[in-house]
């Protein structure tokens, strides 16, 4: 029985099934053998027919382990740095800065350090944090930290990984004495569907939000789309968290992801010396769907030094720096995220590489 993680109701419908993708995207390995041995899993997307929420059916967070092979840092990109500056602007516009700030799921603390550099009073919580900053508590945020008294809480790209997101928001509110404001940022399912982006469906993302399904957690909130429509944000008073999710009229989806996978397969088959540009989650899913045995695409190009000279989880494709493209006789590269096209193009032009966008 498939039940909605927001309400527990079994009034749900399966809308898509994806076969054999890595358990965790953004995993890179030192050898192709280790990469190919990475655990794979099927993904089943379902939708609540009561409230419209889309989620990964039968998701089991106990099998997720973000170990030393996990590399998800995007801050090497100038475009992404601009996005983070935009986030700070949105928080400032909504009077969330100049206060005591907590970032839940701060990761490698890049955004937190940006806030610290701007003079903000901020601490981070993340049990997987690998650094040594005294500003980061390597633990989950819970009511045992109610004495922190945060006035602003940041939750960036964390909620889509949490199996019961509404329960989690209620827990955060309670832990902060139902006071302060929260900023939430997640990918949006609307962009995925509108762009038929099958490469944006993967197991570790157990929730697929729209602005409407995220805002239904609160009686009042503000929000919007940004990052060229790929992300959404919501800002709300933690005193406005609902006690339960009500039934509402829902939006249904016409999912055509399998058609897109066939289109991607045809695209790759037309080129001999081809690579993809971007060893993130999109690139990992793309290759695990259309080139499982690493015979069609020669390599993956990425500017993140921690991913270079490693191998992509599931398929074992080598990950290289742009300067090494000539070693693989690459003629064409598929850009995994069009947001980064303008910063990739000058590099590709110098290397005489043709670019294709999805």
Alpha-carbon span 283 to 297, nearest angstrom = 11
CA 229 to chain centre: 14
Kind of pairing, strands 319-320 and 299-301?
parallel
Q: Where are the alpha helices (DSSP H) in the chain?
A: 32-36, 78-93, 110-117, 165-175, 189-194, 211-215, 257-269, 281-290, 341-350
CA 305 to chain centre: 20
Alpha-carbon span 28 to 38, nearest angstrom = 9
Per-residue pLDDT of the chain (358 residues; tens, 9 = 90+): 999 999 999 999 999 999 999 998 888 999 999 999 999 999 999 999 999 999 999 899 899 877 656 666 666 788 999 999 999 999 999 999 999 999 999 988 999 999 999 999 999 999 888 899 999 999 989 889 989 999 999 999 999 999 999 999 999 999 999 999 999 999 999 999 999 999 999 999 999 999 999 999 999 999 999 999 999 999 999 999 999 999 999 989 999 999 999 999 999 999 989 999 999 999 999 999 999 999 999 999 999 999 999 999 999 999 999 999 999 999 999 999 999 999 999 999 999 999 999 9
User: For residue 76, what pLDDT is reported?
Assistant: 72
CATH 3.40.50.150 placement within the chain: 78-239
CATH 3.40.50.720 placement within the chain: 257-357
Question: DSSP class of residue 134?
Answer: T
User: For residue 211, what pLDDT is reported?
Assistant: 98
CATH architecture of 257-357: 3-Layer(aba) Sandwich (3.40)
Q: Where are the alpha helices (DSSP H) in 99-235?
A: 110-117, 165-175, 189-194, 211-215
CATH superfamily of 78-239: Vaccinia Virus protein VP39 (3.40.50.150)
């Amino acid at each position: 029985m498939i039940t909605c993680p927001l309400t527990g109701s079994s009034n749900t419908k399966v809308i898509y099934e994806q076969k054999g993708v890595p358990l965790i995207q953004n995993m890179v390995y030192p050898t192709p053998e280790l990469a190919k041995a990475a655990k794979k899993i099927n993904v089943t997307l379902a939708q609540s027919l009561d409230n419209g929420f889309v989620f990964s059916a039968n998701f089991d967070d106990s099998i997720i382990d973000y170990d030393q092979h996990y590399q998800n840092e995007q801050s090497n990109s100038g475009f992404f740095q601009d996005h983070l500056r935009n986030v700070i602007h949105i928080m400032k516009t909504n009077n969330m800065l100049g206060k005591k700030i907590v970032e839940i799921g701060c990761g490698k603390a890049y955004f937190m350090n940006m806030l610290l550099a701007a003079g903000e009073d901020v601490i981070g919580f993340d049990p997987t944090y690998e650094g040594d900053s005294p500003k980061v508590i390597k633990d989950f945020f819970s009511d045992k930290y109610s004495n922190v008294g945060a006035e602003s809480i940041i939750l960036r790209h964390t909620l889509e990984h949490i199996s019961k997101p509404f329960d989690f928001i209620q827990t955060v509110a309670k832990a902060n004495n139902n006071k302060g404001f929260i900023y939430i940022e997640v990918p949006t399912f609307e962009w995925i569907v509108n762009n038929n982006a099958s490469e944006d469906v993967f197991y570790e993302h157990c929730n697929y939000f729209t602005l409407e399904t995220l805002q239904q957690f609160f009686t009042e909130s503000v929000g919007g789309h940004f990052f060229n429509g790929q992300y959404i944000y919501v800002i709300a008073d933690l005193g406005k968290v609902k006690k339960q999710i009500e039934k509402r009229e829902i939006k249904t989806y016409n999912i055509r992801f399998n058609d897109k996978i066939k289109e991607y397969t045809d695209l790759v088959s037309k080129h001999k010396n081809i690579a993809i540009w971007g060893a993130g989650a999109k690139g990992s899913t793309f290759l695990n769907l259309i080139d499982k045995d690493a015979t069609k695409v020669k390599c993956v190009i990425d500017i993140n030094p921690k991913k270079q000279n490693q191998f992509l989880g599931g398929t074992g494709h080598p990950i290289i720096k742009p300067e090494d493209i000539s070693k693989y006789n690459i003629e064409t590269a598929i850009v995994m995220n069009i947001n980064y096209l303008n910063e990739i193009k000058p590099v590709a032009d110098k290397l005489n590489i043709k670019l294709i966008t999805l």
